[in-house]
Structure 1
Amino acid sequence: MIPKVSSLKFSADELIRAWQSASILMDYPDEQLLARLEFLTEVTASLPAKIGAGLQTTIGHLRRQSLYDLQSDYVDTFDTRRRGCLFLTYFSNGETRKRGLALLRIKQVYTKAGLILTDDQLPDHLCVVLEFAATTDLQAGLKIILDNRAGLELLRLHLIEIESPWRGALEAVCATLPALKGTDYEAIQRLAADGPEDEQVGLNPYGTPDLLPMPGGV
């Protein structure tokens, strides 16, 4: 059973600020993102340390690097490594027909809530999910996140392993979620050992574009 937002450790307002900040910080870096860092610094400073500190660590890195270096590092981190994939249903479904159905279900949740994605947006991209949760429907967004918890945690462990500066933002998101249970650990270990499924089929019949990770994020 998916827990209610009201049962989490943080208030709805704190979740909104944390998830929207993480969504912005984990998107492909551009001039617009750099221009928002001052505002994001103020927002994250107002959050409890358990979630604000990680976000501030990522902000600090973005401040110190050139845009070219940030973009190069981002592509290397998220677009060239399977364990660094930001498309959540990839971890649980791989490139299979099941992923097409999983994407369709998420898209239906967005449509029901009144959110229409553009053709270049995939509904399971972490930044899209966090933005949807923060700005449209916290409870529905929480369900999508928890349905894909194993993949999210595997991504977190990968970012820690490679000492990625984006790990702080993802750790902040994970810190807002309910504590992991035994079945969660089992799912993470199984996913880490076996990896996503692989099936050489197209997914377009399910109403989604080809699922190659796109440099540039969402």
Structure 2
Amino acid sequence: MSARLTAGPVPAADRARTFQLASLLLTYPDAELLAAGPELREAAAGIDGIEGFVEWLIAATPIEAQRHYVETFDLRRRSGLYLTYYLHGDTRKRGMALLMLKQRYRAQGLHLADGELPDLLPVVLEFAATVGPGDGEAPLRQHRQGIELLRAALHETSTPYALILDAVCAALPDLTDADRAAVSALASEGPPVEAVGLDSVGLGPDLSPYPACSSAEVSR
């Protein structure tokens, strides 16, 4: 795939398309999703990272795709999709963060399905795609540390799902030096001590090989 450099921030329409597709592709690959391969390929055209993931998904057998999803997100604490856990662990602060997200969604008319938590990354991405810049993308910016930790953990296991996180990060604002320092500290220390931890407390993913993504091209 040839490199395509973007000059300046990613346009809002392109961000919305990226977030919407990432939201869909980060859900469990059930029969309906897997049957939509041609439509997904068309929708992902021109979105680096997303294109590569869709090709992998189409080439995989249903059982391979479903087993890989479970192994990636359900069996590894360090690559969970619940963003508030990375910052707050299982503490009262996490409960408050979840409540604030629910209130933000309700203010925009979004109602969660029964039992669905508001910090699930596909939900946060769908909100950003639907509501747009400002209020819609605010939760992604607020939980950028968790997104970067998840991205690094996915790269560690060489899963194609890392391509989706690369595309999401490429659509978000560049990280500052302070942001990178905060992500590195969180990776080293793990969630607050009340929490179970990321696999084991104090052991986060190694961020050093994966500099924080900017709005520049994400190549495969």
Any residues of structure 2 matched to 1:106-145 within 5 Å, and which? Answer: 106-145=101-140
SS at match of 2:137: helix
Report the equivalent of 2:209. none
Cα contact 1:113–1:137 (8 A) shared by 2: no
TM-score (norm 2): 0.82
Structure 2's unaligned 5+ residue stretches are 1-7, 197-220
Q: Report deviation, 1:10.
A: 1.6
Report the equivalent of 2:31. 31
Q: Report deviation, 1:137.
A: 3.9
Structure 1's unaligned 5+ residue stretches are 1-7, 202-218
Q: Report deviation, 1:200.
A: 6.7
| Number of matched pairs | 189
TM-score (norm 1): 0.82
SS at match of 2:104: helix
In the alignment, the residues of structure 2 paired with residue 190 and residue 76 of structure 1 have an alpha-carbon distance, to the nearest angstrom, of 26
Bigger share in helix:
1
Any residues of structure 2 matched to 1:1-218 within 5 Å, and which? Answer: 9-45=9-45, 47=46, 52-199=47-194
Q: Could you list the per-position Cα deviations for residues 130-153 of structure 1 after superposition, in whole angstroms to 9, with x for gaps in the alignment?
A: 111112344223110111111100
Percent identity of the aligned residues?
44
Cα contact 2:130–2:136 (8 A) shared by 1: no
In the alignment, the residues of structure 2 paired with residue 137 and residue 176 of structure 1 have an alpha-carbon distance, to the nearest angstrom, of 13
Q: Report deviation, 1:183.
A: 1.1
